[in-house]
Amino acid sequence: MQVFAELCPAPPGWQVPWTEIRERFGWVRGLAGVPQDAVHHAEGDVEVHTRMACEALAALPEWRARPVDERVRLFAAVLMHDVAKPRCTRVDADGRITAHGHSRRGDLMVRRILWELGAPVPWREHVAALVRHHQVPFWALERPDLQQIAFRVSLLARNDDLVLLATADILGRVCGDAGEVLENIALYGEYCAEQRCLDGPRVFPSDHARFWYFRKPGRDPDYAAYDDTRLTVTVLSGLPGVGKDHWIAANRPGLPVVSLDRLRAELGVSPRGDQRPVAAAAYELARGHLRAGRSFVWNATNVSRMLREQCTGPMADYRGRVEMVALEAPPHVLRERNHGRPAPVPDTVIERFVRRWETPDLTEAHRVSWLTTA
């Protein structure tokens, strides 16, 4: 991505142009003055740490040896890895400083920032996934679900990228346990190599095997699950104005559609109102199709993973094949389309959707398509 390519350290000096970076990005300036726990971050505030982490990355021989496009993408991830700390940092009555949830919140913020900058979807999602998981190598060896975490990272980004990001993060700190944490990061990299998911996506016997691996803890990833699906459900995901109805008309003509917008209109519920009656009506319609073994389309915004799971769970239980279609358009296109609708969605509602937006990934469905409708 061009804006990061212009700022990425390059030979022969490999210098981090911090003054230019601060001038270019308001979210970088927003890191200044945000306090950190002095035990693990004695170097200073979040901006100081971020600059030091970028400099540490630029000094790593493994990063310098990467192709230019990979260097730029990793540099963007390190630059943005703590972008959510200003919104997550709390100081309690005893002066203890915490930033709980900043990795997940960072994923959401990175997606929005890069979407507004016009980043390609795969590039954006790779960076967002690295930010979301950037603390994983610090403690992953203690997790009972380590294998599933490592496989998920491999499908969304790359674990060798995650290892370099975590290494730069630790080298960009002043803390007493840096050596121990660096050892944990190295062990995580070795584990990923053993599990065949270090520098590429973990390969499963089939999309059905992958789908059920992520739905059943402890499942053997090499088990070639018998595909007993009896219908296909196309689950749409996209912000208001992205063109879901148009896509259905062009690509799924003739299939029954469970449309939350349509039900909302029939029930007289506004986008700002209580959505529970709408959801209940939608699930009842869906259950009818599932019981009959009839393929159909689920048409809703579905911008969060939690909302998607509420509909894909029953679909899986009824032996449905889940195919997700993630539709996108640039911000200005969405605004124009929404304002041109007979009943525009209020801007406040769209803003709420954007703040919760998680792009569907291959751990959620048999198949995922990422499409731009602009």
CATH of domain 231-372: 3.40.50.300
At residue 176, the pLDDT reads 84
Say what percent of the chain tops pLDDT 70.
100
At residue 5, the pLDDT reads: 98
Mean pLDDT calculated for residue range 105-111: 98
- Is residue 73 within 8 A of residue 2, CB to CB? The reply is no
Tell me the average pLDDT across 29-55: 95
pLDDT band at 340 (very low <50, low <70, confident <90, very high): confident
At position 104, the amino acid (one-letter code) is R
pLDDT band for 343, please (50, 70, 90 cuts): confident
- pLDDT of residue 272 exceeding 80, the answer is no
Q: pLDDT of 134-176, one tens digit each? A: 999 998 888 899 999 999 999 999 999 999 999 999 999 999 8
Q: 213, 81 in Cβ contact below 8 A?
A: no
Q: Is 319 left (phi over 0), alpha (psi -120 to 50) or beta?
A: left
- Inform me whether the pLDDT recorded for 10 exceeds 80: yes
Tokens 């053993």 sit on residue: 194
Name beta bridge partners: 327.
371
Query: Taking 90 as the threshold, does the pLDDT of residue 269 lie above it?
Result: no
Average pLDDT for 195-220 = 97
Question: What's the confidence (pLDDT) of residue 212?
Answer: 97
Which residues face 97 on adjacent strands? 91
pLDDT at 342: 84
The correct answer on CATH 1.10.3210 for the domain covering 2-194 is yes
Q: DSSP secondary structure string, 9-73?
A: --TTT----HHHHHHH-HHHHTTTT----TTT-TT-SHHHHHHHHHHHHHH-HHHHTS-HHHHHH
Angle value at C-alpha 302, between 259 and 263, nearest 5 degrees: 20
Per-residue model confidence (pLDDT) at position 76: 98
What is d(CA 66, CA 154) in angstroms, rounded to the nearest whole number? 18
**Can you give the pLDDT at residue 77?**
98
pLDDT tens digits, residue range 301-328?
Answer: 999 999 999 999 999 999 999 999 999 9
Residue 220 has pLDDT above 90, yes or no: yes
Q: How far apart are CA 341 and CA 323, in angstroms?
A: 28
Mean pLDDT, residues 6-28: 98
pLDDT of 341 reads: 84
Average pLDDT of span 96-102: 95
User: What residue spans define the domains of the chain?
Assistant: 2-194, 231-372
Selection from 313, 267, 264, 306 nearest residue 290 by Cα: 313
The model carries a pTM of 0.96
Give residue 192's pLDDT.
Answer: 98
Residue 231 or residue 175, greater confidence: 231
* Element spanning 241, H or E: none
Tell me which residue of 330, 335, 328, 337 sits closest to 360, measured CA to CA.
328
pLDDT of residue 346: 87
Band of pLDDT at residue 121, cut at 50, 70 and 90: very high
Q: Which residues contact 368 (CB under 8 A, 6 or more apart)?
A: 323, 324, 325, 326, 360, 361, 362
